[in-house]
Structure 1
Amino acid sequence: MLRGLTNKIWLWHPAISNRTLHVQPERRPVEMALFGEVEKAPMKLSIPVPVTPWVDAGWLATDAAYRQMSVTDKIRFLERQLGLPCDRWPDAVDIDVVGKASFGRDPRIWQADVFGKFVRPGTQRGTSCRDFSMLTVLRWLDMRYTVAPTFEDAEKVAVRQYLRELTAQGYLMELPDQHFRVLPAPHPEGLSRLRWNPQGRLTVSALRVCSERVRLDIPANQVQRLLEYFEDGHPALPVVAFVQDLMVRLHAPARTIVALLREAGLILG
């Protein structure tokens, strides 16, 4: 009985004389591919392409129809949108700005259109704050009007000045990167519900930043007066009386004064 191959040099067999001959050779890539032992990377059948934002075709049709309207029909449309006849439109749609003729002969039309689209809905009672950018307004106007700049970038100058004037009138608050926020209108009964913030304090830097955001120029003598009011507390007057006093001293509407006090964190409600 053969118990092993040690010292059995007299035995010969191909399996022990040259073991390397019986090692399975590595398959070449071509063979491996033929036998399916290599997982090939899936072929890329598509490439990513930028997708433009979806736009409701209904809005495009509405803008195209408005663009073709006569001046008279546009005024009628805007009267329905603002809920007022054109002779009772607010001063906010009749602002003198540079480049105002870039969207047509009568700037009140495009200003009323912008006001009715972006500003007025956010000023209604019970609505939340709305933010938008100047670029959004420009693109929207471009779909509704034939833009003919009276000088280079005249339409941008006109829209920028118009939005900043609305900010000065208290309709908007200016945010970074040419964004704006619609401020709710201060209704008379709403003013009576406002109250002072017990923790509210006012510093020079905070007053400067807040006044810039609401586009309110404050004379130097009034700056010191405001700082003294909120140095260690708040005015003894009710908020509504203080707002009315500042309206006279700063020659600003109530909505601008309220926006300033809100932005500075001085009032609640």
Structure 2
Amino acid sequence: MTKNVNELKQIASQVRRDIVRMVHGCQSGHPGGSLGCTDFLVALYFNAMKHDPSFNMDGIGEDLFFLSNGHISPVFYSVLAHAGYFDKAELATFRKLDSRLQGHPTTHEHLPGVRIASGSLGQGLSVAIGAALAKKLNGDDRIVYTLHGDGELQEGQIWEAAMFAPHNKVDNLIATVDVNGQQIDGPTDKILNLLDLAAKWTSFGWEVMTMNGNDMEEVVKTLAEAKSRTGQGKSIVILMHTGMGYGVDFMMGSHKWHGVAPNDEQLAAALAQLEETLGDY
């Protein structure tokens, strides 16, 4: 499954095409954060993680991933499909009646790859800590990964979990925060300023790393470095700087594309900027 940087970039281009087509197809969904986090999810599933697309909930002997900011489900579903968890033709059913691909991932749909329902923000880190502790109890040396939005850090449960993990030396955990500076109502520094995130996480006892989440080579390198630092007594958090809507010029950097679907003309303009590399669904 491990791909090189050029292969990962090709997958990412196709995933971005999937995202805008999925959201356009149902005229609903969240393209902005999905596009921004594409490189991370692609690098995670096609380079960093050991995982099995045949999928079982226990995930024994596998690395686990928990998507906490579940509204960016388009990128999650596309990556899972391309990684072999289900047929990519199913992407066409996104957010439609009787689809397994709901707007926010749910477990009762039994969609392979989805381990928690993540519509309510702030809960994923707590779940991941529980899974990481279970791996320790089971003698399973694999790693648990999470992804969070920066706006999500305004949820109090995040900081309860952030206190718990270092105190209990949960050192088989790598949390990543998508720092794009945008949330549904506007810039994070206008809605509720997060101030110095690196200082916050450091003060809670985490080992803090940073990366440009839209530079595939840097993402691959940073994830590998983070993995090498596990098992040393500290929980790890990566502050991943991305651009909202990255890859589509008119969507980039604006909170207005957090949860808005493109119209026909905008879809055509977006697809013109994204190379079809693996074939559209």
Taking structure 1 as the reference length, the TM-score comes to 0.25
Q: Which has the higher helix share?
A: 1
Tell me: higher relative CO, structure 1 or 2? Use CA pairs within 8 A at least 6 residues apart.
2
TM-score (norm 2): 0.25
